[in-house]
Amino acid sequence: MPAIRTYLGLFCFIVLAAALRAQDATTISIRLLDGRTGLPVKASNFLVRVDHSETPHTEWVKIGDDGAVTVTLPSDTKEISVKATYGMGMDTYVNCDAAKENDKERNIWYSIAKIVSSGVVAPDECAKTAFTAKPGEFVFFVRKRSWYDNLEQ
């Protein structure tokens, strides 16, 4: 009997630890739209950076078969920056929140707390679009690179 109690106690501890570990993550959804037309864009991958770090975390991104994108972040994450890739993941889209700036490659940071509480729609400098985000959703706009963008690099 003592062995069964020990195993039962160990099992309860593992279940409790797993439940607490599940609370150590924040999940947000991403909606990627064409900056000129507002139509959905299917990216090959997403480069997620957090808290002003230059290290991209593609392993946190899950792209569903239906194109739905979810990102699971550590719970202590304060800000996020996202870029999308296309063409076998080798080329990055130009984010429309920095499309009119001199440095189109710079990361623009968005508050995770704001994304979770009310949702965030990034500015669209590629065209005039009007979208809203649901709580827990980050909406951003992109355009493919032009030959001129490639010259600037």
Query: Domain containing 42 — which CATH number?
Result: 2.60.40
Question: Is residue 8 a part of any domain in this protein?
Answer: no
Question: Is residue 106 a part of any domain in this protein?
Answer: yes
Question: Is residue 6 a part of any domain in this protein?
Answer: no
Question: Is residue 20 a part of any domain in this protein?
Answer: no
Question: Is residue 15 a part of any domain in this protein?
Answer: no
Domain count, the chain: 1
Instruction: Summarize the confidence of residues 110-139 as an average pLDDT.
Output: 92
Instruction: Summarize the confidence of residues 60-82 as an average pLDDT.
Output: 91
Question: Is residue 111 a part of any domain in this protein?
Answer: yes
Question: Is residue 117 a part of any domain in this protein?
Answer: yes
The pLDDT, as a whole number, for residue 102 is 66
Least confident of 59-63, 72-76, 119-123, 149-153: 149-153
Who has greater pLDDT, 3 or 65? 65
The pLDDT, as a whole number, for residue 20 is 46
Who has greater pLDDT, 36 or 101? 36
Residue 131 sits in which domain range?
25-152
Structure token digits, residue 77: 């994450």
The pLDDT, as a whole number, for residue 62 is 94
Question: Is residue 10 a part of any domain in this protein?
Answer: no
68 Cβ partners below 8 Å, 6+ apart? 29
Whole-number Å distance between alpha carbons of 111 and 52: 12
Q: Is the pLDDT of residue 131 over 70?
A: yes
CB 99, CB 126: distance < 8 Å = yes
The pLDDT, as a whole number, for residue 106 is 82
The pLDDT, as a whole number, for residue 1 is 52
Instruction: Catalogue the E-assigned strands of the chain.
Output: 25-34, 45-50, 61-63, 69-74, 79-86, 91-92, 94-95, 110-111, 120-121, 137-143
Least confident of 3-7, 49-53, 79-83, 122-126: 3-7
The pLDDT, as a whole number, for residue 112 is 95
Q: For residue range 2-61, list pLDDT tens digits in order.
A: 566 665 555 555 655 554 454 578 999 999 999 989 999 989 999 999 999 999 999 999
What percentage of the chain exceeds 70 in pLDDT?
75
